[in-house]
Amino acid sequence: MCGIVGYIGSQNAQDFVIDGLEKLEYRGYDSAGIAVNTGKDRFEIVKKVGRLQNLEDALKEHPLKGHSGIGHTRWATHGKPSDVNSHPHFNKDKTLVVVHNGIIENYLELKKDLQAKGYEFISETDTEVVAHLLDSLYEGDLLEAVKKSLKIIKGAYALGMMSISEPDRIIAARKESPLIVGLGKGENFIASDIPAILKYTRDVYLIENNEIVEIKKDSVKIMDTEGNEVSRDVTHVEWDMEAASKGGYEYFMEKEIYEQPKVLMETLNSRVDENKNINFDDAGLTKEYLEGVRSIYIVACGTAYHAGLVGKYIIEKKTRIKVDVEVASEFRYRNPVIDDKTLIIVLSQSGETLDTLEAMKEGKRHGAKIVAITNVVGSSIAREADHVIYTWAGPEIAVASTKAYSTQMMILYLLAIDMAYKFNKITREEYEHDINSLYDLKEHVEKVLEHSENVEKAAAKILDQHSIFYLGRGLDYMIAVEGALKSKEISYIHSEAFASGELKHGTIALIDEGVPVVINVTQSDLFDKSVSNIKEVAARGAYVIAIAKEGNTIVEEVADEVFYIPAVEDEYTGFLSIIIHQLLAYYLSKLKGNDVDKPRNLAKSVTVE
Ligand code: F6R
């Protein structure tokens, strides 16, 4: 999604803004721009469609020298990607500039009003109305004009704004879209995400909804929308730039796949103490509370939704308590049955996904308790939830989610084991056995990662195919669904998952000579049936890549290729088979020459509906 960076201090603003925008590139964007107060009577603005490099090239020709500036990477919503639709937007005489993340919902109405007053629009964006609206309300004090504008604007926004006649300040505002302020010495920053400013400071203010901030070189003032000062503790960011850099890997995705043994253990250790006790006390999930719960929903989008499917499987298996998993964008509009006896577990890596955030608010309005499982401290979802359980994946930069997914699964397994024990569904011995099985995953995942080279070879063989089918039964199916999403989003090969038993009800018509079928066959009780499914597709010419447990060599007789994972108990195989899927998607994308970390049309955190 869009990114915002602003700088005010004594150094050259352009350098900081561009550097910050580079750090936000992973979020996905299609154009970029910058405005700097260069001491002239109007802002100097450079905007370029395409990669940030295009903007950097333009700035080499025409550098902007000044001590304050705002920049933006845009992910098109209103109007196609183009130079003119890129941010910053400005008023007619370029004395006011605006960068914006989010959507101004009443922009058409505002545009009409402003046009009636003689304002001319040059872009197709919703953001341009903010520039003209500010102009119509500006009487020499940008803060006052912003306060008035925010009473008129409807929608979601993080805004950064400057006036040429007030060179000593940047004004920013937030409603729904994330915004932070970085605190430097003799310089301060605004940004939509922490990595943008982490090179310069680890001390930040997390700006809340309906707040305005005045950022000067030596001071930061946070206010409510009336201008009353609000106090805020400084948040010190613990992780550093190394965690947000490639560390020798070619792509972030590759690095993040390889980080999984480590981050799975960090997530596990965050909730299990030295006496092998799982602790979710702070998540409000006491036995007393759980006894009163009538329904449990897991709500999320995309990959997080797929982790939710696995969550349902393991919670139901261990506790025999029913769980519904729903896609957030549907859940929020389908009037689900929710009351104060409902527990909603939301899953979100970024903690900013608008659909998930709104679904969660809908649940809250009906009295449900909300427990959020998220990776980003201080994110909107973390702040709005009743309780938060953090995954310890560290910053996930590649658009395609890998380590966030497996750490979400880890938390859900811990919840399932904890609940099962609280409800006497498992003995202390079984409880400890389950926890040990989770600890053993480190070694097993490391072993699966050793297959990397062979997975690359398998990817090379199916690279030119138009479709890949992913199959599985039970837990294997839930992992297949995530495998297919990984493949389609970064390889751009049509990839679809089906429950193996469902294939014969229609989809098998698509299986033809050479069509790749990737099938998980790791569930013992479904093994024979899965082998039959392999035979069915093989008989129709499919090129079968199977993922099976070590020892099940019979699979070699029916599949074209087999990747073996350690023979763990059935309920833990997902942590291992997903690694093969992630590597396969990674190599398909890389071998096709795609931008693995920044696939087309996608964004890292989806803050629009
Ligand atoms: C796919 C992917 C997306 C996200 C989805 C939800 O690799 O990353 O499907 O999982 O957009 O994002 P979060 O987890 O940030 O709410």
Residues 317 and 201 in one domain: no
Residue 503: which CATH number?
Answer: 3.40.50.10490
pLDDT score at 332: 86
Residues 436 and 484 in one domain: no
* Boundary of a domain, candidates 188, 211, 243: 243
Signed CA dihedral, 65, 68, 73, 76: sign only: negative
Ligand 1 centroid to 215 CA: how many Å? 32
Would the CB of 95 count as within 6 Å of ligand 1? no
Distance CA(537)–CA(529), nearest Å, equals 13
Would the CB of 356 count as within 6 Å of ligand 1? yes
pLDDT score at 244: 67
pLDDT score at 215: 98
Residue with tokens 């996904």: 353
Among protein residues, the one whose CA lies closest to atom 10 of ligand 1: 303
* Boundary of a domain, candidates 243, 261, 289: 243
Per the structure, the complete domain to which residue 271 belongs is given by: 245-449
Among protein residues, the one whose CA lies closest to atom 9 of ligand 1: 302
pLDDT score at 24: 86
Would the CB of 303 count as within 6 Å of ligand 1? yes
Distance CA(464)–CA(461), nearest Å, equals 8
Ligand 1 centroid to 398 CA: how many Å? 11
Distance CA(286)–CA(280), nearest Å, equals 8
- The answer to whether residue 367 is domain-embedded is yes
CB neighbours of residue 253 within 10 Å: 30
- The answer to whether residue 609 is domain-embedded is no
Would the CB of 484 count as within 6 Å of ligand 1? no
Would the CB of 402 count as within 6 Å of ligand 1? no
- Interhelix angle 403-422/302-319, rounded to 10 degrees, is 20
- The answer to whether residue 605 is domain-embedded is no
Sequence-ordered list of residues with C-beta below 8 angstroms from that of 464, at least 6 positions apart, any chain? none
589-606 as b/e, with b when 16 or more CB fall inside 10 Å? bbeeeeebbbbeebbbbb
pLDDT score at 251: 93
Distances (CA, A) of 583 to 255, 392, 453: 11, 21, 9
Q: How many domains does the chain have?
A: 3
Among protein residues, the one whose CA lies closest to atom 7 of ligand 1: 400
Note the pTM of the prediction, 2 decimals.
0.76
Residues 393 and 431 in one domain: yes
Residues 22 and 98 in one domain: yes
pLDDT score at 429: 97
Residues 555 and 490 in one domain: yes
Hey, which bits of 331-424 come out as E strands?
Answer: 342-348, 369-374, 387-390
Would the CB of 373 count as within 6 Å of ligand 1? no
Distances (CA, A) of 496 to 302, 402, 477, 492, 578: 14, 18, 11, 12, 15
Q: Which one of the listed residues 23, 255, 422, 604 is annotated catalytic?
A: 604
Among 193, 253, 299, 303, the mutation site with the greatest number of ligand 1 atoms within 8 A of its Cβ is 303
Residue 301 designated active-site: no
Average pLDDT by stretches of 10, the chain with 609 residues? 92 97 83 97 96 95 96 88 95 97 92 97 95 98 98 94 97 92 97 92 93 98 96 86 76 96 95 92 89 95 98 97 96 90 96 93 95 89 92 92 98 97 96 97 97 96 96 98 98 96 91 96 96 95 97 96 98 98 98 93 75
Ligand 1 centroid to 603 CA: how many Å? 9
Residues 283 and 419 in one domain: yes
Residues 234 and 255 in one domain: no
- The answer to whether residue 194 is domain-embedded is yes
